[in-house]
């Protein structure tokens, strides 16, 4: 049978507590005379406080660091752009952003697809994209394919 722990048996972990520093209680306390403030200077005087970020006259860290330029929008959608001529080289009936990622034609970070009108297309394919230029849509439909907006 295991012994039950009682509240009166609980003790803080060894080393987690210590004596409080009692300053200004005479030399025999070990923290007397100057009360751990040193002999002279700003920190020894009463009412001493320094500005936030003050580093004793040294050039502060926030002034040493270069200033950041610009702004990064974390909500921005990453678009992949591809020309109609590049779609002709892909061996698939239906093309979407996922199939282009698998083929290695667009970045894996891309979220949406934009189809541009550069190049020519001879085969009929179905393209699922977020945006088509007017010339890209015309070339896909002229070749007998479909340009579907997602």
For residue 1, pLDDT beyond 80: no
Domain annotation covers residue 37: no
Domain annotation covers residue 72: no
For residue 59, pLDDT beyond 90: yes
**pLDDT (tens digit, 9 = 90+) per residue, 87-115?**
888 888 899 999 999 888 899 999 999 99
Write out the residue range of the structural domain in which residue 110 sits: 79-149
CATH number where 129 lies: 3.100.10.10
Domain annotation covers residue 116: yes
Selection from 144, 130, 139, 145 nearest residue 84 by Cα: 139
Chain mean pLDDT for the chain:
89
What pTM was computed for the model? Answer: 0.53
Domain annotation covers residue 121: yes
Q: What does residue 63 show for φ and ψ, rounded to 5 degrees?
A: -95, -20
Percentage of the chain with pLDDT > 70? 99
Domain annotation covers residue 133: yes
Domain annotation covers residue 47: no
Domain annotation covers residue 140: yes
For residue 50, pLDDT beyond 70: yes
Count: domains in the chain? 1
Domain annotation covers residue 29: no
CB proximity list for 91: less than 8 A, separation 6 or greater: none
């Amino acid at each position: 049978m295991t012994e039950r722990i009682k509240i009166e048996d609980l003790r803080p972990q060894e080393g987690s507590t210590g004596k409080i520093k009692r300053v200004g209680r005479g030399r025999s306390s070990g923290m007397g005379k100057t009360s751990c403030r040193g002999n002279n200077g700003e920190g020894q005087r009463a009412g001493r406080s320094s500005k936030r970020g003050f580093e004793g006259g040294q050039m502060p860290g926030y002034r040493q660091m270069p200033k950041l330029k610009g702004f990064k929008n974390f909500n921005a959608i990453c678009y992949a752009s591809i020309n109609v001529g590049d779609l002709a080289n892909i061996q698939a009936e239906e093309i979407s952003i996922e199939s282009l990622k698998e083929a290695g034609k667009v970045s894996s970070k891309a979220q949406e697809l934009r189809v541009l009108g550069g190049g020519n297309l001879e085969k009929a394919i179905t393209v699922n994209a977020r945006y088509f230029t007017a010339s890209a849509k015309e070339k896909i439909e002229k070749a007998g394919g479909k340009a579907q907006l997602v």
